[in-house]
Amino acid sequence: MAAATNAARERAPVLLVLMGLALALLVAVPILNTLPEDSPYRLSDFSVVLIGKYLCYAMLALSIDLVWGYCGVLSLGHGAFFALGGYAMGMYLMRSIGTRGVYRDPILPDFMVFLNWKQLPWYWYGFDHFAFAAIMVVVVPGLLALAFGWLAFRSRITGVYFSIITQALTFALLLAFFRNDMGFGGNNGLTDFKDLLGFPLNTGATRRGIYVASLVGLVGTYLVCRRITRSKLGRVLIAIRDAESRVRFLGYSVTAYKLFVFTLSAMLAGIAGALYVPQVGIINPSEFSPANSIEAVIWVAVGGRGALYGAVIGAFAVNGAKTWLTTSVPELWLFVLGGLFIAVTLFLPRGLIGLIGLGGGAPRGLGLDRLLPRLSVPKVPKPRRGDG
């Protein structure tokens, strides 16, 4: 324990410097976007939106790392909470269109007019106000996680069984939101947004504003997760991850701790989804795809679970590789993603932060001492007379 503490203290200055540099680069993005178009240092509007998406993905990765890396609860359904937060924001953006839609209906969105809806469904009430939509962004994913988690954790469903039912949850939501009679746009989802809080979404200033909001959201999410993991609550969560039965034997309510962290992580994922939708301009049922949740787990595994900055690194690294590969050789991306997950599982259990020696308790460098066979055999001391 003392050695691990000393190693963490040695890494702290390096981590602070690296995190400071990364934050400075992210802060510089909207500034570089304002440079003249003929400047070689100018970042395009596309780059601002792309990096803004990565920020939202990093928030989702942090929410997964909180519940998986620190509590040992592997959720393969966090994409559902991300999508629910996105739909809540999308509903507000659709209500904001008003008479500027194709059918110019002041109340009903265009897809409802097209499908012959006569009145607005009750669950769309209130979404013409941003404050109400912002509350729903966290309340809807939180309530679903609370109900689902209470049933699962109370029944002591753990391990792979919990992972499977979370994946079944997101698949069920995928099928439900595909239906036109659900009132969420069916297969096409919600799109053709006009503005956010009165600011047109197609302007550079609005894009930069949403980017800044996403960056603030990422920093806030990181600080919240760090505060939790460094507290007594965080130590109990780690104890549950490592020895759940012992924690239960000591008198702690394991169900309550799991339920709290699962619900909180779902709410954080909902915020990430809400910031994501105005940047991409659409939300549809494909966001509920189980493959999206699995891919998000891979981000955390690649970066290094159990270290919050590892989740952020993984989200940026994997999505950066995805952007490049899907542009150059799109048919190879799924094979690369699968191979990456296998390679991390077999050779880099602590992810990229373990590779460079920045993970908690991870060996420095490549950790070749774990891969190479030992060349010497320890000597067994000979028994002395009288020992037998």
pLDDT of 10 over the 60 cut: no
pLDDT at 340: 83
Question: Average pLDDT, stretch 6-18?
Answer: 66
State the total domains in the chain.
1
Q: Is 365 left (phi over 0), alpha (psi -120 to 50) or beta?
A: left
Contact 268, 58 (CB under 8 A): no
Question: Average pLDDT, stretch 149-177?
Answer: 94
How does pLDDT run across 233-277, given as a tens digit for each residue? 999 999 999 999 999 999 999 999 999 999 999 999 999 999 999
Q: Choose between 296 and 357: higher pLDDT.
A: 296
Q: Is residue 256 part of a domain?
A: yes
Q: Is residue 52 part of a domain?
A: yes
How does pLDDT run across 27-80, given as a tens digit for each residue? 999 999 999 988 888 999 999 999 999 999 999 999 999 999 999 999 999 999
Q: How sure is the predictor about 364, in pLDDT bands with cuts at 50, 70 and 90?
A: very low
Contact 81, 144 (CB under 8 A): yes
Q: How sure is the predictor about 215, in pLDDT bands with cuts at 50, 70 and 90?
A: very high
| pTM exceeds 0.85 | yes
Q: Is residue 69 part of a domain?
A: yes
pLDDT at 362: 37
Q: Is residue 112 part of a domain?
A: yes
Q: Is residue 377 part of a domain?
A: no
Q: How sure is the predictor about 312, in pLDDT bands with cuts at 50, 70 and 90?
A: very high
pLDDT of 20 over the 60 cut: yes
Q: Is residue 78 part of a domain?
A: yes
Question: Average pLDDT, stretch 129-158?
Answer: 95
- Report the mean per-residue pLDDT for the chain: 87
pLDDT at 197: 92
Domain containing 20 equals 2-35+43-290
Question: Average pLDDT, stretch 150-167?
Answer: 93
Greatest Cα pair distance, the chain, in angstroms, is 100
Least confident piece of the model among 128-137, 151-160, 206-215, 354-363: 354-363
pLDDT at 331: 82
What is the rounded CA–CA span in Å between residue 279 and residue 33? 15
Residue located via tokens 């924001």:
89
pLDDT at 332: 84
pLDDT at 248: 92
What is the rounded CA–CA span in Å between residue 173 and residue 77? 10
Q: Is residue 305 part of a domain?
A: no
Question: Average pLDDT, stretch 336-343?
Answer: 84
pLDDT of 205 over the 80 cut: yes
What is the rounded CA–CA span in Å between residue 85 and residue 70? 23
pLDDT of 114 over the 80 cut: yes
pLDDT at 27: 93
pLDDT of 311 over the 80 cut: yes
Contact 65, 225 (CB under 8 A): yes
DSSP state of 281: T
Which tokens belong to 106? 């002041």
Least confident piece of the model among 86-90, 145-149, 378-382: 378-382
Q: Is residue 354 part of a domain?
A: no
